[in-house]
Structure 1
Amino acid sequence: MRDKLIRMELDVGRMTLRLLTVFRSSQHSYDSTDTCLVAVVHDGVTGLGEGTPAWAHGETVEQVVAAVAEHGRDVLGPDLSDPDRVLDRVADWDGPVGARMALDGAVHDWVGRSAGVPTWQLYGVPRTMPEPTGYTIGLGSVAQTLELVANAPAVGAFKIKVRGAEDLDRLAAVRAVTDLPVRIDPNEAWDLRTAQELTPALRALDIQLVEQPFPRDAVEVYRRYRELPDRLPVFLDEGCTDVDSVRAAAGLADGVVVKLAKSGGVRATRRVMEAARQAGLSVMLSCNCESELALSQAALLAPLAERIDIDSQFLLRDPPFRGLGLDQGRIVLGDAPGLGVLPSDQHAFGGVDPSTGVGVRSDGGPAD
């Protein structure tokens, strides 16, 4: 009798993603990262979602997992019979960003699986992303950078992590071997003087844009950089997380970088992208270090972006999910029901069985 009364089950755990090499930026250096994995079971159908802690804002995977375990059922409600209302509740919840992202993803996966078709098909999203994706290269020597460029997948652009003038040789070497657009990302490492000194050389190298050159709270510096002649277009990343911060960016930048891991899932990030368009800002859809499950969640928003930077699947060793493809630089979504990806090794993420949702304890620990 008890089983008949249970309409929905929720399980949560953590999943470790290991990179092929150590990845370095001006702020971080890592060779693995942990994300949150959620399984929602309703009417015999399981939906899986991934949530990445908003590490730039102090979130940890422990906080994300604990929030889902404690509050997830209440946020979702008793069942998924009205997914739109459930997704609105998740987007409006004041819990950790990664927790909202994971729950939102699991509901989107469940919607497609319950209908027996890919979720992107239900939402009218094209299977092939409308714009080529970029490929991110971390800090390193000229030789290391050129090796990564030579071995990169057939993408449509490169994003190079930089610090300052010491990286001009790397950028010149990259420009000498490719005509693809090159974007740079100092991750808040510059001051105005650095930008003034570097901009002429960067323009000569035909650098397409710069992401988050200055600290997120350096509002006056962003305004002064906009006054420079022949400056680079600026996209804000760490400085834009929600609708209010996007509206504030209108006078500081030319575009914004949006990520589910900053805004809290597909529903919340769509609101951010729509606010950016209303503010006249260009939009780049991007990601943190995430598996193909999370990237497939983000892909539902691809038609709303002018630029795509979905590339962490290329950086992972033994990816736990598979399904995304690449065609002429554009990401191709998987055709499996739900978010379109399938587990490549269920033990890689705590033993969740995608058909039943069994295998991860609700307290966030690994399966026994």
Structure 2
Amino acid sequence: MSTHSDWITKDFGAFKLRFKPYTLEMRYVFTVASFSRTTTPVVLTQLEYDGVVGYGEASMPPYLGESQESVIHFLNKLDLRGFNSPFQTEELLQYIDQVMVNNTAAKAAVDIALHDLIGKLLGQPLYKIWGLDPAMTPPTSYTIGIDTEDVVRKKVMEADQFKILKVKLGLETDKMIIDTIRQCTDRPLCADVNQGWKVKEEALEMSHWLAERGVVFLEQPMPKEQVDDNAWLTAHSPIPTIADEACQRLADVPSLQGVYSGINIKLMKCTGMREAKRMAELAQTLKMKVMIGCMTETSCAISAAAQLGPLADWVDLDGALLIGNDIYDGMKVIDGNCVLSERPGIGIIAQ
């Protein structure tokens, strides 16, 4: 980790905001239907109030259109001098959301730090403040990226503690990958197609083929723009469909009812914990399934998302396990289960 002097510090009186870029190094080349990468840029944040520091993070995979430069530009535009307490949560986060459009990961970096700070000031984990039972969190899936037979087999063998595997699909290798995994294990699978299928009839045929092989849901099977095709597939598929790229923020959720069976909520897409919780509650009201997902992130953002795990039907919170240079100690995965700590806030400490 870079030294403390590398932090950019903004002093707002009651609050101090610090931030700096950091690069996550992947344990494996990470391949999905549209690209491959070996690193992920992030920006780490700290929000200090009355000597107490909350931690946050922005993770920017390439397809979201944010970068370390854009996040730092956004954070430099913030002026928190109009606020004198972190418990002005609604006003603070409304202000941050209207500073610039989009920039959802940058906004999440402040939201997470603010929630961590509030939990520390109250001396309680967020899940307790929200009245949630961590024992209700589903086991996390572990992601197997698109790769050769040998590497897929190796990854499956390394993932033996996980009760469910998430498989990246969307290329001509789909059946090979599933067949290779099925030679190694009969554990349940979920398939993330990352918009890789284009023809609804072929997608339906694949959904039946996958259902027969123990796949329990399809994530973003076709391009988000193909609304009618996705709705048709959802109506006919033997397994649920989950919106990922099609679902970013709270305002998106009502229009997805009937198009998908459920939504994948990610802090980096929706501006953080406040909106993520509202999305989960709205989806439940609409009788839609809830998945809590992640980007490639440190244990900071992963532990933040895990506070919402009890609201989910499925969680995919393996992002910190896919990197080799995590700098926080937080939510642990033990026997495939997300184990939240009793520490206040989001439950992390810097290593």
Please indicate, yes or no, whether the TM-score normalized by the shorter chain is above 0.5: yes
Q: Which moved more, 1:239-248 or 1:251-260?
A: 239-248
After superposition, the CA RMSD in angstroms is 2.3
CA contact (8 A) 1:292 1:323 kept: yes
**In structure 2, which of residues 150, 153, 171 is the aligned counterpart of residue 143 of structure 1?**
150
Of 217, 227, 235 in structure 2, the residue corresponding to residue 209 of structure 1 is 217
Provide the rounded CA distance (Å) in 1 between the counterparts of 2:86 and 2:211: 51
Matched position secondary structure for 1:317: coil
Which of 1 and 2 has higher RCO (CA within 8 Å, sep 6+)? 1
Asked if residue 64 in structure 1 is aligned to residue 68 in structure 2, the reply is: no
What does residue range 346-365 of structure 1 map to in structure 2 within 5 Å? none
CA contact (8 A) 2:146 2:177 kept: no
Counterpart contact for 2:134–2:309, Cα < 8 Å: no
How many residue pairs end up in the alignment? 339
Question: Identity over the aligned pairs, expressed in percent?
Answer: 27
User: Secondary structure of 1:79's partner?
Assistant: coil
State the 1:283 CA deviation.
0.6
The whole-number CA distance in structure 2 between the counterparts of 1:88 and 1:153 is 43
Whole-Å separation in 1 of the counterparts to 2:124 and 2:263 = 32
Code of the aligned partner of 2:251: D
Counterparts of 1:44-193 in structure 2 under 5 Å?
Answer: 44-53=51-60, 55-73=62-80, 77-90=83-96, 94-95=100-101, 96-128=103-135, 130-152=137-159, 154-192=161-199, 193=201
- Shift of residue 274 of structure 1? 2.0
Asked if 1:271 is matched to 2:278, the reply is yes
The one-letter code matched in structure 2 to 1:118 is P
1:27 correspondence with 2:34? yes
- Unmatched 5+ residue regions in structure 1? 345-368
Corresponding residue SS for 1:73: coil
Contact 1:128–1:333 under 8 Å retained in 2: no
Moved more, 52-61 or 265-274: 52-61
Structure 2 unpaired stretches of 5+: 1-10
Question: Residue deviations 1:75-133, cap 9 Å, x none?
Answer: x7243253454345445665410121011111111112223443433333334452111
- Residues 32-91 of structure 1, C-alpha deviation per residue, up to 9 Å, x if partnerless? 1111211111111111111223743422221112111211526x7243253454345445
- 1:258-302 deviation per Cα after TM superposition (whole angstroms, max 9, x unaligned): 100110100011222222122221010000001110011112211
Q: Are the aligned partners of 2:12 and 2:79 in contact in 1 as well (CA < 8 Å)? A: no
2:74, 2:12 → 1: CA distance? 25
CA distance in 1, matches of 2:96, 2:132: 22
Counterpart position of 2:3: none
Deviations 1:186-209 (A, max 9, x none): 111101243144233223212111
SS in 2 for 1:23: strand
Q: Which residue of 2 aligns with 1:365?
A: none
Label 1:282 to 1:210 Cα distance change in 2 as closer, same or farther (>3 A).
same
TM-score, L = length of structure 1: 0.85
